[in-house]
Amino acid sequence: MPAKANPRNHRNNPYVFDGLMANVHHSAAGVLWRFRAEATALLAATAVIWQLAVTITIVWALTAVAALVTGAFITPPVRRFIIRRVWCVISRHRLQKVFFETRMHTRSGRLSLVLRIHPTQVGERALIWCRAGICFEDFEAHTGEIAAACYAREARIERSKRWAQLVQVNIVRRDTLAAHHVITSSLAAKASTLPPAARNDAA
């Protein structure tokens, strides 16, 4: 009669693939995947500077790149586009961090996947693929932690109408309906300078 498999033996672990994915997540390949946007931007900038240095001198290449960056930040539409994309990258990293810190991950340490994140009028919107063992209610219970981690005003969670494993996280940074310029009343300013007795008489 064959001996019963010991569940504590790592060779009888039914979650070998999960452990492998956890190791990949913490490996160089996992780090490269999480920082793919930064790595792509760095490689593109390096390739552009190298090509310019071959065509012209390195001094003129750096001057041209500096002028291009300055012009991009001076132009309001381009500056807004860059800032919003930078916030998307920051929010993606902060979401992954809050997933780990609040233990919204599997037993093997696998985090939910940020499939897509794009800017909105009030902040960013992220589409999350929940791992097995994580659901919409987990995100809803940690809206405060998500908002604080993303340096936002608040976070709103939406459930997918078709797939239960898909969750949308709306990161709200600004209120588009709020007044940008508040006009103070001159009468209220004058009333505040009056003594209490005169203030009561006026009332």
Handedness of CA 87, 92, 96, 102 (dihedral sign): positive
Per-residue pLDDT tens over the stretch 106-126: 887 788 888 899 999 999 999
Domains located in the chain, CATH noted = 19-74 (no CATH), 93-176 (3.30.980.40)
Confidence of residue 8 (pLDDT cuts 50, 70, 90): very low
Torsion of CA 22, 23, 28, 34, to 10 degrees: 0
CA distances (Å), origin 6, targets 1, 9, 18, 67, 108 = 15, 6, 19, 66, 19
**Residue 113 burial (CB count, 10 A):** 14
Query: Where residue 73 falls among pLDDT bands split at 50, 70, 90?
Result: confident
- The C-alpha atoms of residue 158 and residue 25 are separated, in whole angstroms, by 27
Which two structure tokens, joined as six digits, stand for 131?
């791992």
Tokens, residue 186: 């001159």
What is the 8-class DSSP label of residue 112? Answer: P
- When pLDDT is cut at 50, 70 and 90, the band that residue 10 belongs to is very low
